[in-house]
């Protein structure tokens, strides 16, 4: 009984366990999709699309005025009151400071003493001596008289010199005769050389001529021999190879014809061996064919010999041509040698002619002078004249220099006097001014603008030239500058307009006017961008943030920068793909390798395995691997 | 053979301990896998055949490590890779590095009236490749950004400054310098990272902006507190040795290999020297992700200890069962031999 109860209980437990198990199975099956979805990582994605990539360069700077001017104190004074403060807008003529002249009296006394001293110097400078040149003129006159005396002595000496002696005359006569004889001899040589008879010409002139002649004779002999050889070979050739080939062709045709006839005759005989006529015809045809073949073969054999003869003729012709060339060269060398001989003789002829001419000139001069004379030495007298001329010149030049120097000194003195006078006038005017300003004075603004700095307060002691305030001129425009890297500077272009990003300014425009090297940081490769600011709604000292567009290009495939990932295989994006299953659409990610073409702060233009309209993952809950199933963010 | 209650209880205990041991191992693996900041090498390898390792270097201010040191390190690593015949494919990178400096607290102002104080970290261009926090809006900072005046906020800071997370492109003032928001990130959600992250909101700025805020004309390079790299590891310890040679380890330099941090052997070492985890060398300040990793190191080391403890009883029980089974088999074979002998005798 107990055993039965135990078994019943066991069966109950098993039944209960099975029911629970089946219920659990059913629930899990129905909600498997939901459970699966919740276990998948959530991703957010965007479509890759056609778009533009625009890079921007940003920066901030303080607005500065393009021009400003400084208000300067005149004289040593005390500030009684200050009428403006930093930031005030003022017009031309507005009062800025009131200054008191408590320290002016000493300045007046100093100025008066300075004027007196200057006038004394001026009076002293007026007393100058007039230059006198009587002594120099006297020296020049004396030097000229000495020169005249020296010239007179020289002329007197020259009248007894310059004649040709008898000994010189005799020498010239001998020279003329010798020259005439030599000329006659050389004329004979020239005639022989012109006719080609060089035997009578001395060996001094005909040096290389014999060798040239021998070479020319040898070349002529060689040429004649080559020609003879060629003629002999030409005569030996009776038939040309072309003619022989024509003959061979005819004989070949005849042989073939005879052989064909023989073949036919043979065939006829074989068809009817009893016919004697056919047999005889065959035998005749065979003999004819054999003779014809032998003739053709002989002709063919002869062709080889004819071709060899023609080759030898061609070679002999080449030899003749070479011999002709050698003969021409030898002839030219011989003509050159003869020309050389003639030229040498002509040179000696010219020298002899010159010698004869010189002798004839001496003889002529002797005949004209009528008598002989003794040559006298006049060099010393000529030297004396030259020396005296130089002395006179030197004295004249010295006088001219002295006069010029004195004139220059006079002019400098006049200028100094003028300067001293002007200085005195200026000091007098300043004294008048000092005397006039000895009372309280109001400093007024010369231009309209905005007060940017005030350097003095009431009660300050200011010195002459001290800057009391700085006024920025509102009419000259404003600038903003900020520094950028070299890379950023390369991207912007001069003349572009920039947007003002820190606030709303209705009529302000900012235009990039320059990009210069950053000199404030030596060694830096950065640049300073300067913008011209125009408009009415601007204040000096205000901070403006500017943003300027760089290049802007359109691309077919632009994705958010946050979707680009990288590993050792390069850059890639994860593209969401879907596949349909019996339980609905399943999403999974796949890898698409890309290269980045351009990027700005939010997007990047890419190319590669991703195309326009692909759904790329921009963020996910956990790291993803290609092929992993994901769930889309709602 | 009848099984007694005691034996059944022992068997059930052994099975339960085994299950608990495997559960602890699974929890340990899950905890380690939850730290994305330690899995940069796996992400970079992307399932390829090459092995990569992630190396982190933590530096104190006295170590003298500045931005100017980075190019020297890159050259040394490139040379080591060339020597090892490792070459990148066209348009790909073989390795990359990221560096950061935890600057401290700064005042930031958005379009709400109150300023917020946030912990600001200066980061290099590849920082977010190394630490891909979830983007709530916008995009990360990149090395090739034209303008280096953008910042990344975390969701808490974005809420405090603007009242929303979708604030990319809006202006934020950092220490009186106007900047733009590049993106908003969600901090890591695993337990260790949340503890290490702290309650203060965080912002990330590029080094160029840090230079502008900090030096203002001094011309000095900023110091770097954390340098991380992912590079090929064709043989054991190649990556770590390369980085050690490039950085010249010394005082104020602490190098960690993240990739094998939670391996069995490393967990055993950590368990044996658990106190070392409590000590921070020199004046190095660890960033929050390293603190989170150290928390998990501690956790996984402790879990390893628990696993070993839980394994004791099943192992002993299993050995005892084996011994009993061996004895049973011995007795069985002996009886068989006796019965066989008895039959022969009868015959």
B138 touches chain A (CB under 8 A): yes
| DSSP, residue by residue, A273-297 | TT-HHHHHHHHHHHHHHHHHHHHHH
Interface of A with B in 472-501 (CB under 8 A): 485, 487-488, 491, 501
Same domain assignment for residues B197 and B334: no
Asked which of A248-252, A304-308, A469-473, A523-527 is least confident by mean pLDDT, the reply is A523-527
pLDDT-derived band at A375 (thresholds 50, 70, 90) equals very low
Distance CA A506, CA A503 (A): 10
Is A601's CB within 8 Å of B150's CB?
yes
**C-beta atoms of A618 and B135 within 8 A:** yes
Q: Domain for residue A319, yes or no? A: yes
pLDDT(A196) > 80? no
Is the pLDDT at B171 greater than 60, yes or no?
yes
- B104 touches A: beta carbon within 8 Å: no
Q: What is the pLDDT of residues A616-627, one digit of tens each?
A: 999 888 888 888
Which pLDDT tens digit goes with each residue over B124-142? 889 999 999 999 999 999 8
Q: Cβ of A191: how many Cβ atoms within 10 Å?
A: 10
**Interface mutation target, options B147, B152, B187, chain A, most CBs of A under 10 Å:** B147
Q: Give every CB contact of residue A202 below 8 A, 6+ residues apart in sequence.
A: A189
Judged by CB atoms closer than 8 Å, whether chains meet at B146 and A568 is answered as no
User: Mean pLDDT lowest for which of A366-375, A508-517, B101-110?
Assistant: A366-375
Give residue A159's pLDDT.
Answer: 65
The reply to whether residue A569 touches residue B93, judged by beta carbons under 8 angstroms, is no
Check residue A522 and give its pLDDT: 66
Distance from CA of A520 to the nearest CA of B (A): 9
User: Into how many domains does chain B fold?
Assistant: 2
Distance from CA of B297 to the nearest CA of A (A): 22
Based on the fold, state whether residues A505 and A626 are members of the same structural domain: yes
For residues B27 and B83, membership in a common domain is answered with: no
Are B25 and B148 within one domain? no
User: In this structure, is residue A452 part of a structural domain?
Assistant: no
State whether B142 and A561 contact (CB < 8 Å).
yes
**Interface mutation vs chain A, best among B43, B46, B141, most A CBs within 10 Å:** B46
B41 vs A130, residue with greater confidence:
B41
Q: Which residues of B touch A568 (CB under 8 A)?
A: 44-46, 48, 50, 52, 88, 92-94
Q: Are residues A550 and A520 in the same domain?
A: yes
Q: Taking CA atoms, what residue in B is nearest to A565?
A: B129
- List pLDDT tens digits, range A434-475: 776 667 788 888 888 888 889 888 888 888 888 889 888 877
In this structure, the answer to whether residues B95 and B239 fall within a common structural domain is: yes
Question: Which residues of B are less than 8 Å from A521 in CB distance?
Answer: 217, 219
Least confident of A159-168, A464-473, B241-250: A159-168
Residue in chain A closest to B92 (alpha carbons) equals A570
Boundary-marking domain end, from B259, B274, B309: B259
- C-alpha to C-alpha distances, A217 to A207, A212, A319, A331, B345, nearest whole angstrom: 17, 9, 17, 9, 147
Which of A335, A369, A403 is a domain's end point? Answer: A369
CB-based contact A570 B92, cutoff 8 Å: yes
Per-residue pLDDT, B217? 42
Whether residues A567 and B43 touch (CB distance < 8 A) is answered with yes
Q: Which residue of A has its CA nearest to B91?
A: A570
pLDDT of B62? 78
B218 CB near a chain A CB, below 8 Å?
A: no
Q: How does pLDDT run across A515-526, given as a tens digit for each residue? A: 888 777 666 678
Alpha-carbon distance B186 to nearest alpha carbon in chain A (angstroms): 10
Residue A380 resides in a domain: no
Contact B274, B70 (CB under 8 A): no
pLDDT at B216: 45
A8 found inside a domain: yes
| Domain shared by B9 and B87, yes or no | no
For the ranges A237-251, B32-46, B132-146, B271-285, which has the lowest average pLDDT? Answer: B271-285
| Cα B206 from Cα A154, distance rounded (Å) | 105
A50 CA to chain B: closest CA distance, Å?
19
Instruction: Tell me what percent of the residues of chain B surpass a pLDDT of 90.
Output: 51
CA–CA separation, B44 and B48 (whole Å)? 9
Q: How many CB pairs (< 8 A) connect A and B? A: 85
Angle in degrees, CA A18, A22, A28, rounded to 5? 145
**Chain B: residue nearest A603 by CA?**
B139
Q: From A327, A348, A369, give the residue that closes a domain.
A: A369
Kindly state whether B147 is in contact with chain A, defined as any CB-CB distance less than 8 angstroms. Answer: yes
β strands within A395-502, DSSP E:
441-444, 449-454, 461-462, 467-473, 478-484, 497-500
- The residue out of B205, B236, B259 marking a domain boundary is B259
A536 touches chain B (CB under 8 A): no
Half-sphere exposure of A452 (CA within 13 A, CB side): 21
Q: Are residues A11 and A55 in the same domain?
A: no
**Computed from CA positions of residues A219, A225, A228, A232, in that sequence, does the dihedral angle turn out positive or negative?**
negative
**Inter-chain touch A521–B217, beta carbons under 8 Å:** yes
- Look at A619 and B169 and tell me if their CB atoms are within 8 Å: no
Reply yes or no on whether the pLDDT at A164 is more than 70: no
Domain boundary among A345, A369, A393: A369
For A524-575, write each residue's pLDDT tens digit.
Answer: 678 899 999 888 777 777 888 889 988 788 999 999 999 999 888 889 999 9
**Per-residue pLDDT reduced to its tens digit, B77-86:** 999 999 888 8
Question: Of the given ranges (A76-85, A428-437, B240-249), which has the lowest mean pLDDT?
Answer: A428-437
Residue B48 has pLDDT above 90, yes or no: no
Burial-class residue A348 by CB neighbours within 10 Å (0-12, 13-18, 19+): middle
In a domain, A12, yes or no: yes
Looking at the structure, tell me whether residues B227 and B268 fall in a common domain. Answer: no
Q: Which residues contact A304 (CB under 8 A, 6 or more apart)?
A: none
- B144 interfaces chain A, CB cutoff of 8 Å: yes
B219 interfaces chain A, CB cutoff of 8 Å: yes
Q: Which of B111, B138, B146 to mutate to test the interface with A (most CBs of A within 10 A)?
A: B146
Nearest-CA residue of chain A relative to B88? A568
Residues 282 through 341 of chain B touching chain A, CB cutoff 8 Å:
none
Judge if B287 and B211 occupy the same domain. Answer: no
Q: Are B73 and B195 contained in the same domain?
A: yes
Q: Which of A501, A567, A605 to mutate to test the interface with B (most CBs of B within 10 A)?
A: A567
Give the distance from residue B169's alpha carbon to the nearest chain A alpha carbon, in angstroms: 9
DSSP bridge partners of A576: A589
Q: Please check whether residue A609 lies inside any domain of the structure.
A: yes
A630 CB within 8 Å of a chain B CB: no
Which range has the worst mean pLDDT, A91-100, A199-208, B263-272? A199-208
B47 contacts chain A (CB < 8 A): yes
DSSP sequence for A191-221: HHHHHT--TTS-TTT-TTHHHHHHHHHHHHH
Q: Provide the domain limits for residue B198.
A: 42-259
For B261-282, letters b (16+ CB in 10 Å) and e give bbeeebbeebbeeeeeeeeeee
Average pLDDT, chain B: 88
Average pLDDT over residues A34-38: 78
Residue A8: which domain range? 2-30
Token match 């302000």: residue?
A508
- What CATH number is attached to the domain comprising A600? 2.40.30.170
Instruction: Specify the pLDDT at position A368.
Output: 67
Whole-number Å distance between alpha carbons of B149 and A43:
29
pLDDT of residue A163: 61
How many independent structural domains does chain A possess? 3
Q: Considering only residues 87 to 126 of chain A, which have any Cβ-Cβ distance to chain B shorter than 8 Å?
A: none
Residue A298 lies in a domain: yes
Q: Verify that B214 and B306 share a domain, yes or no.
A: no
Query: Are both A10 and A60 inside the same structural domain?
Result: no
Q: Which two tokens stand for residue A265?
A: 């005759």
- CB of A245 within 8 Å of a chain B CB? The answer is no
**Is residue A391 predicted with pLDDT exceeding 50?**
yes
Do B190 and B338 reside in the same domain of the chain?
no
Q: Which of A568, A605, A627 to mutate to test the interface with B (most CBs of B within 10 A)?
A: A568
Chain B residues closer than 8 Å to A565 by CB: 132
User: What per-residue confidence (pLDDT) applies to B221?
Assistant: 62
Kindly report the CATH number assigned to the domain that includes residue A250.
1.10.287
Mean pLDDT, chain A, rounded, equals 86
| SS3 state of residue B234 | coil
Q: Of the candidates B204, B235, B259, which is a domain's last residue?
A: B259
CB contact under 8 A, A566 and B93: yes
Q: What percent of chain A has pLDDT over 70?
A: 94
CB proximity B30 to A under 8 Å: no
Asked if pLDDT for residue B219 goes beyond 90, the answer is no
Residues of B whose CB is below 8 A from A567 = 43-46
Nearest neighbour of B46 by CB, restricted to A562, A567, A602: A567
Neighbour count for residue B130 (Cβ, 10 Å): 25
Instruction: Dump pLDDT digits (tens) for B290-325.
Output: 999 999 999 999 999 999 999 999 999 999 989 999
Task: Give contacts of A58 with chain B, Cβ < 8 Å.
Answer: 147, 149, 180
**Shared-domain flag, residues B8 and B53:** no
Token pair in block for residue A620: 């996910």
User: Any idea what the Cα angle at residue A363 is, between residues A360 and A364, rounded to 5°?
Assistant: 85
- Once rounded to an integer, what is the mean pLDDT over residues B19-46? 92
Q: Could you give the percent of chain A with pLDDT greater than 90? A: 32
* pLDDT score for A102: 56
Which residues does chain A have within 8 Å of residue B139's beta carbon, measured at their own beta carbons?
A: 560-562, 601-602
CB contact under 8 A, B45 and A502: no
Same-domain check for residues B133 and B184: yes
Q: Which of A109-113, A246-250, A318-322, B328-332 has the lowest mean pLDDT?
A: A109-113
Which chain A residue lies closest to B95 (C-alpha atoms)? A568
pLDDT of residue A374: 46
Could you tell me if residue A170 is inside a domain? no
B94 shares contact with chain A (CB less than 8 Å): yes
Phi, psi angles (nearest 5°) of residue A513: -110, -25
- Best A560, A601, A605, A616 residue to mutate vs chain B (most B CBs within 10 Å): A601
pLDDT band, residue A370 (cuts 50/70/90) = low
């Amino acid at each position: 009984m107990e055993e039965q109860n135990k078994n019943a209980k066991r069966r109950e437990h098993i039944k209960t366990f099975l029911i629970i198990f089946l219920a659990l199975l059913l629930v899990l099956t129905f909600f498997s999709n939901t459970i699966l979805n919740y276990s998948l990582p959530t991703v957010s994605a965007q479509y890759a699309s056609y778009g533009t990539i625009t890079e921007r360069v940003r920066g901030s700077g303080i607005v500065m005025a393009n021009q400003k001017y400084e208000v300067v104190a005149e004289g040593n004074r005390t500030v009684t009151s200050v009428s403006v403060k930093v930031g005030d807008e003022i017009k031309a003529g507005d009062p800025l400071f009131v200054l008191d002249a408590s320290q002016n009296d000493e300045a007046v006394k100093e100025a008066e003493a300075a004027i007196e001293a200057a006038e004394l110097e001026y009076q002293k400078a007026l007393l100058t001596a007039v230059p006198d040149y009587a002594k120099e003129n006297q020296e020049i006159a004396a030097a000229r008289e000495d020169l005249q005396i020296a010239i007179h002595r020289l002329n007197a000496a020259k009248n007894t010199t310059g004649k040709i002696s008898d000994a010189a005359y005799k020498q010239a006569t001998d020279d003329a005769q010798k020259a005439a004889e030599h000329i006659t001899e050389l004329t004979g040589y020239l005639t022989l050389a012109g006719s080609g008879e060089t035997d009578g010409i001395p060996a001094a002139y005909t040096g290389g001529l014999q060798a040239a002649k021998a070479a020319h004779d040898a070349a002529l002999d060689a040429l004649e021999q080559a020609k003879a050889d060629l003629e002999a070979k030409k005569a030996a050739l009776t038939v040309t190879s072309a003619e022989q080939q024509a003959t061979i062709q005819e004989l070949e045709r005849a042989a073939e014809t005879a052989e064909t006839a023989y073949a036919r005759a043979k065939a006829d005989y074989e068809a009817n061996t009893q016919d004697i006529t056919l047999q005889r015809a065959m035998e005749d045809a065979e003999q004819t064919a054999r003779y014809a073949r032998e003739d053709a073969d002989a002709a063919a054999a002869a062709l080889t010999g004819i071709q060899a003869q023609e080759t030898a003729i061609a070679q002999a012709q080449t030899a003749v041509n070479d011999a002709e060339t050698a003969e021409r060269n030898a002839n030219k060398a011989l003509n050159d040698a003869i020309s050389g001989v003639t030229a040498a003789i002509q040179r000696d002829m010219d020298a002899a002619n010159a010698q004869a001419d010189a002798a004839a000139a001496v003889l002529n001069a002797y005949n004209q002078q009528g008598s002989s004379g003794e040559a006298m030495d006049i060099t010393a007298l000529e030297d004396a004249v030259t020396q005296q001329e130089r002395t006179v010149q030197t004295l004249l030049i010295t006088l001219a220099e002295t006069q010029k120097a004195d004139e220059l000194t006079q002019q400098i003195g006049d200028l100094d006097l003028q300067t001293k006078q002007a200085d005195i006038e200026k000091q007098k005017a300043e004294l008048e001014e000092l005397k006039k300003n000895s009372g309280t004075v109001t400093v007024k603004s010369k231009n309209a603008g905005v007060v940017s700095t005030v350097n003095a307060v009431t009660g300050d002691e200011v010195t002459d030239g001290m800057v009391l305030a700085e006024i920025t001129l509102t009419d000259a425009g404003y600038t903003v500058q900020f520094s950028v890297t070299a890379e950023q500077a390369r991207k912007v272009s001069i003349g572009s307009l920039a947007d003002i990003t820190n606030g709303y300014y209705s009529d302000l425009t900012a235009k990039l006017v320059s990009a210069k090297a950053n000199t404030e940081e030596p060694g830096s490769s950065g640049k300073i961008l300067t913008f011209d600011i125009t408009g009415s709604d601007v204040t000096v000292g205000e901070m403006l943030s500017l943003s300027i567009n760089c290049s802007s290009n359109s691309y077919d495939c632009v994705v958010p920068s946050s979707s680009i990932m990288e590993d050792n295989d390069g850059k890639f994006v994860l593209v969401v793909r879907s596949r349909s299953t019996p339980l609905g659409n399943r999403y999974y990610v796949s890898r698409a390798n890309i290269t980045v073409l351009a990027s700005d702060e939010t997007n990047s233009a890419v190319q590669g395995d991703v195309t326009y309209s692909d759904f790329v993952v921009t963020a996910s809950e956990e790291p993803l691997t290609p092929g992993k199933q994901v769930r889309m963010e709602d | 053979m009848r099984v007694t209650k005691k034996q059944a209880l022992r068997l059930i205990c052994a099975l339960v301990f085994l299950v608990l041991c495997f559960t602890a191992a699974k929890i340990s693996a899950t905890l380690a896998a939850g730290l994305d900041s330690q899995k940069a090498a796996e992400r970079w390898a992307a399932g390829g055949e090459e092995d990569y390792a992630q190396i982190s270097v933590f530096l104190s201010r006295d170590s003298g490590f500045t931005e100017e040191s980075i190019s020297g390190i890159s050259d040394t690593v490139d040379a080591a890779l060339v020597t090892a015949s490792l070459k990148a494919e066209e348009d790909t990178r073989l390795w990359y590095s990221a560096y950061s400096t935890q600057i401290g607290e700064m005042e930031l102002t958005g379009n709400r009236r109150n300023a917020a104080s946030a912990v600001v970290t200066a980061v290099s261009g590849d920082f977010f490749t190394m630490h891909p926090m979830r983007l709530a809006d916008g995009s990360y900072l990149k090395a090739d950004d034209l303008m280096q005046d953008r910042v990344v906020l975390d969701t808490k800071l974005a809420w405090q400054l603007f009242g929303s997370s979708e604030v990319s492109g809006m202006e934020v003032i950092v220490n009186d310098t106007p900047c733009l928001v590049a993106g908003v990130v969600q901090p890591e959600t695993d337990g260790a990272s949340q503890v290490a992250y702290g309650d203060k909101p965080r912002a990330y700025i590029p080094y160029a902006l840090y230079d502008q805020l900090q030096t203002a004309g001094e011309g000095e390079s900023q110091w770097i507190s954390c340098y991380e790299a992912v590079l090929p590891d064709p043989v054991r310890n190649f990556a770590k040795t390369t980085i050690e040679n490039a950085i010249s380890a010394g005082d104020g330099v602490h190098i960690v290999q993240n990739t094998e941090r939670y391996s069995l052997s490393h967990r055993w070492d950590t368990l044996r020297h658990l106190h070392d985890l409590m000590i921070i060398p020199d004046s190095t300040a660890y960033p929050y992700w390293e603190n989170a990793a150290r928390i998990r190191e501690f956790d996984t080391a402790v879990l390893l200890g628990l696993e070993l403890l839980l394994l004791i009883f099943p192992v002993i029980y299993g050995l005892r069962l084996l011994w009993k089974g061996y004895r049973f088999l011995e007795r069985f074979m002996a009886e068989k031999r006796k019965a066989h002998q008895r039959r022969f005798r009868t015959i």
